[in-house]
A and B are shown apart, each in its own frame.
Chain A
């Protein structure tokens, strides 16, 4: 069974204080690893897709990296508007289209001004 564990559960940062969120996973063949941002009561907003170990992607203050066992979401000089829950999810390589995402429980990030 695919499993995703995110840490920490909650993280409080001061504006400008860089940090990293961790996502550890076990999956029977990784098709893709996904990062989403979710604001309260809203749908997950897509951030990044990573497919193979060593891959990195960046968007504004966010950078996602992938190894064979975990992924990191690095946040550089965060702003209060970066406050949200960040979800990591994996999709297994089962050979068909339309396969599920298995999510971690998320990291709730709060950035104080």
Chain B
């Protein structure tokens, strides 16, 4: 079965640079979620989109923005990167009318030097 696709899988950036993470949900899924997981920590919710509209917002820094496009893929844009942004970033997707279960992608490991 098709799963959530994230790209790139690994990303290395310098401080103050920008980064764009992409997420392709499971086909027909209409809701996308972004989570950040630091070393040894549990995933922390950042933001979600349902039918291309923001549906929930968590502890996402103002330096970050995200959107969901007409084909339901989503992008997380991160600017003025800081050392503390180094983490695993997960995207998850769900089919809202059918289930609340969120299926996670493999993640993007971001390292800020």
Contacts and interface: CB of A to CB of B under 8 A. Distances in A.
Q: Do A and B come from the same complex?
A: yes
Nearest to B100: A32
A87 interface: yes
A59 interface: no
- Interface residues of chain A: helix, strand, loop or mixed (majority): loop
Nearest to B32: A98
Contact of B107 (A32, A43, A98): A43
Nearest to B99: A49
Interface residues of A, number: 25
Interface residues of B, number: 30
A91 B56 CA distance: 12
Contacts, number: 70
B55 interface: yes
Given A43-B106, A45-B104, A49-B101, A98 B50 contact: yes
B99 A99 contact: no
B45 A91 contact: no
Contacts of B105: 43
Given A96-B50, A97-B96, A46 B103 contact: yes
A41 B56 contact: no
A104 B99 CA distance: 21
Contacts of B49: 98
Contact of B56 (A32, A96, A103): A96
B100 A91 contact: yes
**When A and B form their complex, which 5 residue pairs have the shortest distance between CB atoms, in order from nearest?**
A98-B55, A97-B96, A98-B50, A43-B104, A100-B45
